């Protein structure tokens, strides 16, 4: 495996950062997870735009233009001879001192990894997930804003631990007002009486690239959608439910907190949206090998 590290490609064994890097010491940095499908890096420009938004929010200067970052990402796929897979793009604050002050870090560090991923067991995509709501509350927007894809993912990790302890593959986090925010790694969607709903970004939900793609597909298919605040009650009485995320793609949910969703099987609107999403992956994105 070839890793892009600060302008050079190196082996996994040689891909090293300083123990004084503030990404390691404090989670000070940002990242993106990106998918490759059918020889294309899906929604790459949208992901890079979001990366630079996250960096701007924490006053992190990325020492590359967006076009240079796009080129480096595609080249990392080529170096690893990958046409389908997963990319993790990380920008750390860089090497500094043991103090918090980011001004002590003169230059950010850029890491691009291209490999494969399987977030959930294969059978769950056909049969659906069983998930639970956990006590861990989603970060509030005036603390660590969930819109920033920062390297500090401990809020999500704590919720994932609770999911593990409950014996399920995923967990729902509520915001401080008790409304549904998102899952540990995915956005949440429900279908009720033919309409599609997902929590608003103000709830603590991530500005998801896959989320936006599904909403676009719904508009194309004439499926009405909305972004109201959702409580657990709304999930329990939904006809269908599914999650979206770059690594997860689209995955149905059939049980929440012991309540069966709809018929207990993935629903027809979920299937239509999935087909539309998969069609997009064949035509949208930067070509890897010409």
| Residue numbers annotated as active site | 149
| Burial tier of 169 (Cβ tally within 10 Å: 0-12, 13-18, 19+) | buried
Cα–Cα distance, 78 to 103 (Å, whole number): 35
Decide if 276 contacts 287 (C-beta within 8 A).
no
Q: CA 64 to CA 91: how far, in whole Å? A: 11
How distant, in Å, are the alpha carbons of 166, 202, 207 from that of 130?
A: 10, 26, 24
């Amino acid at each position: 495996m070839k890793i892009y590290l600060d302008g050079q490609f190196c082996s996994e064994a040689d891909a090293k950062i300083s123990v004084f890097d503030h990404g390691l010491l404090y989670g000070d940095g940002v990242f993106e997870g990106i998918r490759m499908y059918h020889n294309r890096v899906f929604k790459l420009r949208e992901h890079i735009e979001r990366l630079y938004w996250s960096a701007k929010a924490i006053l992190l200067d990325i020492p590359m233009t967006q076009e240079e970052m796009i080129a480096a990402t595609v080249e990392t796929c080529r170096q690893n001879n990958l046409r389908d897979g997963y990319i993790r793009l990380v920008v750390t604050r860089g090497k500094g001192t043991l103090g918090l002050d980011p001004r002590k870090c003169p230059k950010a560090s850029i890491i691009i990894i291209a490999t494969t991923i399987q977030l959930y067991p294969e059978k769950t995509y056909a049969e659906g997930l069983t998930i639970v709501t956990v006590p861990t509350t989603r970060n509030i927007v005036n603390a660590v804003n969930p819109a920033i894809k920062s390297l500090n993912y401990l809020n999500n990790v704590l919720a994932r631990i609770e999911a593990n302890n409950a014996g399920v593959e995923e967990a729902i986090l509520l915001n401080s007002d008790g409304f549904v925010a998102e899952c540990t790694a995915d956005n949440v969607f429900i279908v009720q009486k033919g309409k599609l709903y997902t929590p608003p970004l103000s709830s603590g939900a991530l500005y998801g690239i896959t989320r936006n793609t599904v909403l676009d597909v719904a508009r194309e298919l004439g499926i009405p959608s909305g972004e109201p605040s959702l409580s657990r009650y709304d999930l329990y009485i939904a006809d269908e439910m599914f999650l979206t995320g770059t690594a997860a793609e689209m995955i149905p949910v059939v049980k929440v907190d012991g309540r069966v969703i709809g018929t207990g099987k993935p629903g027809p609107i979920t299937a239509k949206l999935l087909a539309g999403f998969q069609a997009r992956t064949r035509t949208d994105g930067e070509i890897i090998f010409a």
